[in-house]
Structure 1
Amino acid sequence: MVLSQFRFVEVGRVAYISYGPDAGKLAVIVDVIDQNRALVDGPCSGVSRKQMNFKALELTSIVMKIPRGLRPGNLRKAWEKQEVQKKWDSTTWAQKIANKKK
């Protein structure tokens, strides 16, 4: 896993869902559909695989090393192996969100 200085839309980019039914959850971009939408999946955060508009996503600096279109089971293994949730919890962004919920 790589922490990137620039937040480009790319396969493997972890995103925070800002609104909609899955607001407040993390998902990873599995495939880019077009200039407005991406296929996302959140294997450990409860987000089912679906297409989402980029307006509903806030890109994080966390990038997973995964191939395009990775299946959900293998994505879950990669998520756990690369400790995405642990990396997210250590960011100041996640800590601010946690403090607001208190």
Structure 2
Amino acid sequence: MLLDIGRVCIKLKGREAGRYCVVIDVIDNNFVLVDGDIRRRRVNIKHLEPTDKVLNINKGIKTEDLIKEMLKNKIPVSYWKLKKDNLLTSEIIELYKQNFGEKWEEIAKSIGSPGKGKLII
């Protein structure tokens, strides 16, 4: 299956369209559980565009650990997600700075929040 655990995808439908997410569990042939720059949720695989990136993660990884892994692989995460889930820790900020530079906050804020029309693609 193309959508295996750890596959980075772009959400195509809904208010979170255009945002990066990662498959953290396969539910059945039509649905997967995703998390990342979106809320953790069950998604129809028809609403995802897989990328060529695959993260080395375990099934059911915690959101905080997933965000760290995304930043290590230079996948941006919105400031909205970091604030909403209380993930603005010094460790995550350092990872963001290492991979995106001192203007990490501008990059994170430029992504915007879901439903505001900004796309990552």
Could you tell me the TM-score, scaled by structure 1's length?
A: 0.70
Query: Rg: which structure is higher?
Result: 2
* Closer, same or farther: CA 81–37 of 1 in aligned 2, 3 Å: same
Q: Distance in 1 between matches of 2:46 and 2:15?
A: 14
Give 1:20 shift: 1.1
* Closer, same or farther: CA 61–52 of 1 in aligned 2, 3 Å: same
Aligned partner letter, 2:26: V
Q: Distance in 1 between matches of 2:11 and 2:72?
A: 22
Q: Which has the higher strand share?
A: 1
Give 1:13 shift: 0.2
1:10 alignment counterpart: 4
Structural RMSD (CA):
2.1
From 83, 88, 97, give the equivalent of 2:74. Answer: 83
SS in 2 for 1:69: coil
**5+ unaligned residues in a row in structure 1: which ranges?**
1-6, 87-96
Give 1:82 shift: 2.3
2:93 maps to 1:74: no
Give the share of equivalent positions with the same residue, in percent.
35
**Between Structure 1 and Structure 2, how many residues are aligned?**
80
* Closer, same or farther: CA 98–65 of 1 in aligned 2, 3 Å: closer
Aligned partner letter, 1:58: E
**5+ unaligned residues in a row in structure 2: which ranges?**
77-98, 100-118
2:54 maps to 1:63: yes
